[in-house]
Amino acid sequence: MKKGDFIFNIIRVPADFLMLIAGGVLTYLVRTEILDQWRPVLFGPQLPFDRFFGLILAVSVLFVAVYAVSGLYAMKLRMTVPQEAVRIMVASSAAMMVVILAIFVRAEAFNSRFLVLGYWAMAIGAVLTGRLLMRIIYRRLTVRYDLGAHRVLLIGNDDVAARLAHTMRSDPSLGYRVVRTLTDPDIAAVVAIIEDPGVQEVILASPEYPAERIVQLVELCHERHVMFKFVPNIYRTLTTHYDVDSIGHIPLIQLRRTALDGWGRVFKRATDIVGSIGALVALAPVFAVVAFAIKWETEGPVFVRLRRMSRSREFDLLKFRSMINNAHELNGYLRALGNDRRDGGPLWKMKHDPRVTGVGRVIRKYRIDEFPQFWNVLRGDMSLVGPRPHQPDEIAKYERHHRRVLAIKSGATGMVQSSGASDMPFEEEVALDTFYIENWSWWLDARIIAKTVVRLFRDRSAV
């Protein structure tokens, strides 16, 4: 999904809510200020505006909930204006039936049928108007300022490829900018174009290529975090996650490495924000005690900043300092002594590191040194749950299948950490992180967090 479409879909929720409130206010004004000239208002003492406004807020929440159930906020569904109008009318009618049923059950004195039926009509009109305005604004911003537009590499040499290129170039509001067209999916040429001038999508329009080269192309796109789409008559089984789109009358399928997309991304980020704020507040006394102990024992800062990778971006991972000051200056000497990893993986680890301080051994044993990572989660550098964050110099040694762990944000915990990361072979770590990426769900995150909390008190294998 293009970033512009993603943002547009999220904005529709508060926009619909505001339009529903506006429709309710307008309904009240029409009944009390306009129709009152022909038919006097009888419900004034029983339903003043402040009470009516409170009811409108509650009813608007109900309408938005019904809209969500009916698929009006689905990320993967692109509707035409008539399709959207029909769905809004059906969902609004269902929500209004719930309101009428509630009035009947409560047997309240609500003798204005116009407010009920008028709000139903106003709600439909207001939401439709709001969505049409958003479509117009989004299209204009896309055409004039390239808002949300994706730079595309098009691969193909047949009529389908020609029609795709013509449609994208003739209608800028679609949000595609063709930067290059290749007639053959040569991997080296694709890599060069991804790096310069840079693209967000690769579209394979012509399927008549060897399967091995197409698989290489898919793996390359996933490794470089570039969307891959193809005209759907082959290779639907390359992944279990895909989105259906269309350009003109040509259908496209976008392959995805992970199920984490759309509202799942929104929910995960909201969980990260709430969870990290709660953890930072709850752990504030622990932070104070640990900071005092570190400063009391050795000179140097309380925190250390370690360069790590999350997706394709480097960031400073925050941890409590558990080693002597400037411990990194001894890295070369200690690495020469060997690697404690039995599998010979690219990660360097050393048990019984002589640089670790007395306080450091305690906070490492109980993994307290990792608590400052909640600040990284709040900043958006990483997530509460995700693959283990690795060092840039280690990633340079990864093989292609190892780079799958960079598909999503790294996490403060994950399947590796909750399963006993210290003694786990590197290939098994990659396998677990890859499983998480390809099978993400809200329930899986909850299970990992619960297992991590339990392991925090039982496992002492950290180094």
Query: DSSP per residue over 132-161, as a string?
Result: HHHHHHHHHHHHHH-TT-EEEEEE--SHHH
The tens-digit pLDDT sequence of the chain (463 residues) is: 566 677 888 899 999 999 999 999 998 888 777 665 555 555 544 567 788 888 899 999 999 999 998 888 887 656 778 888 999 999 999 999 988 888 777 656 455 677 788 899 999 999 999 999 998 998 888 888 888 788 999 998 888 888 888 898 888 888 889 999 998 778 888 989 988 888 989 998 876 677 778 888 888 888 888 888 887 654 444 444 556 677 766 777 776 667 777 778 888 999 999 999 999 999 999 999 999 999 998 888 999 999 998 877 889 999 999 988 876 666 665 665 555 554 555 555 666 777 888 999 899 888 899 999 999 999 999 999 999 888 888 887 887 777 778 888 999 999 888 876 566 778 888 888 888 888 888 889 998 998 888 887 776 555 4
Q: Which helix (H) or strand (E) holds 252?
A: strand 250-255
Domain boundaries, the chain: 3-145, 150-255, 263-458
pLDDT of residue 238: 46
pLDDT at 374: 96
Give the pLDDT confidence score for residue 303 in this predicted structure. 94
CATH of domain 150-255: 3.40.50.720
What is the predicted pLDDT for the residue at 345? 56
- Res 240: pLDDT: 47
Dihedral over Cα of 326, 332, 333, 339: its sign:
positive
Q: pLDDT value at position 331?
A: 63
* pTM (whole model) above 0.85: no
> Which residues does residue 180 pair with via DSSP β-bridges, in sequence order?
153
**CA–CA distance, 252 with 237 (Å, rounded to integer):** 15
Crossing angle of helices 284-297 and 263-282, in 10° steps, is: 60
Q: Which two tokens stand for residue 141?
A: 């911003």
CB-CB contact of 66 with 89 (8 Å) = no
Q: pLDDT tens across 364-410, in order?
A: 888 899 999 999 999 999 999 999 888 888 887 887 777 778 888 99
* CA–CA gap between residue 232 and residue 242 (Å, rounded): 11
310 bridge partner residues: 313
Structure confidence at residue 81 (pLDDT)? 86
Please give the Cα distance from 247 to 268 (Å, whole number).
30
Predicted local confidence at residue 56, as pLDDT = 92
Find the angle CA(63)-CA(142)-CA(232) to the nearest 5 degrees.
80
